[in-house]
Amino acid sequence: MIFLFMLGFLSFNPLEMFSVDSDYAAQRCKSRECTCAVSLSRVSPRLINFETVSAQSAYFEEGSDSLSVSQKSAISQHLALNPTQRYFTVTGYADGCGSDSYNNSLSYRRALATKRYIKSIRSSAVVAIRAVGEISSTHDSRSRRVDIQSQDSSSAFPAYPEISADVYLIDASGSMSGSYQYWLEAISQARPSGSRVYISYDGYCRAGQDALSIAPGGGTEIWYSYWYIIDRMSPGQTLLIISDFQSRVPLTRSEGIRIREKVDRAGVRVISIVP
């Protein structure tokens, strides 16, 4: 089974790189707010049979996101023992030291460091990252780790992950064309009753349109859509964003801070999947 591909979004460093200026973004989009609420029915899975995953963990020093020589060796050995496996999910964790935002950031950086090392050994690997943050209220060394799950490449795609949220926002830009349908299918398998699905799109889309009928294209406006969706959520709800965040317009540092503050005021939880 492939696990949820997810990261702690509020700590995602590319917040420093993309634009959320509302007037400018609105001019680039054919649909209002660069966003459409869409319909999404359950889709029959494309994969029925798939290989089980193998697993390996890498451990970190307290406060560190650097892989030690011994941990790199353990990962290398794991890859050598599983030469046909191509799909990987790396999940970062932290212990109980620090705030939620600090632990989310640290667990993301640990997962990212592991992804980069896997790619340095096996360039053809498809690696998704997930940041969980704190999993222990103490300084438990076993919590300072990254778990690596892998699946045999005999399947065309990984098995659908179980991804549950109150609100979904999917990037329908051209850079997502290779995985857009796959993630819609994944959402359709696990979305709770009453959850809402939106797409971020600079082309034309209409409210209630079938998400699978939309062909991805154009530029990435995910930051503008993200800003818009937060206003339509209730405190305590979870927003799941699926995007590669490859925006073509820089986001200023002050805009990144405004996004974080907006999420805090709304009292919502935001996580994301980077394919």
Q: For position 96, which CATH number holds?
A: 3.30.1330.60
**Which residues span the domain enclosing 118?**
54-152
* 172: β partners: none
158 occurs within a structural domain:
no
Asked, for residue 111, whether it belongs to a domain, the answer is yes
Statement to judge: residues 34 and 99 lie in one domain: no
Q: Domain ends where: 104, 130, 152?
A: 152
| Strand order across the 7-8 sheet | 7-8, 269-273, 238-242, 167-171, 196-200, 35-38
List per-residue pLDDT tens for the chain, 275 residues long.
333 333 333 333 333 333 444 455 556 788 888 899 999 987 765 544 445 567 899 999 988 999 999 999 999 999 998 887 878 888 888 887 877 778 878 888 998 899 999 999 988 887 877 766 666 667 778 888 998 888 655 444 444 566 789 999 999 999 898 888 888 888 887 788 899 999 999 999 999 999 999 999 998 888 889 999 999 999 999 999 998 888 777 677 888 888 889 999 999 988 877 76
Indicate whether 131 and 257 sit together in one domain.
Answer: no
The domain boundary residue, chosen from 87, 122, 152: 152
Are the CB atoms for 129 and 92 separated by under 8 Å?
A: yes
Single out the residue in 129, 152, 175 at which a domain terminates: 152
Q: What is the DSSP letter of 53?
A: P
Q: What are phi and psi of 239, to 5 degrees?
A: -105, 130
pTM for the structure as a whole: 0.57
- Number of domains making up the chain: 2
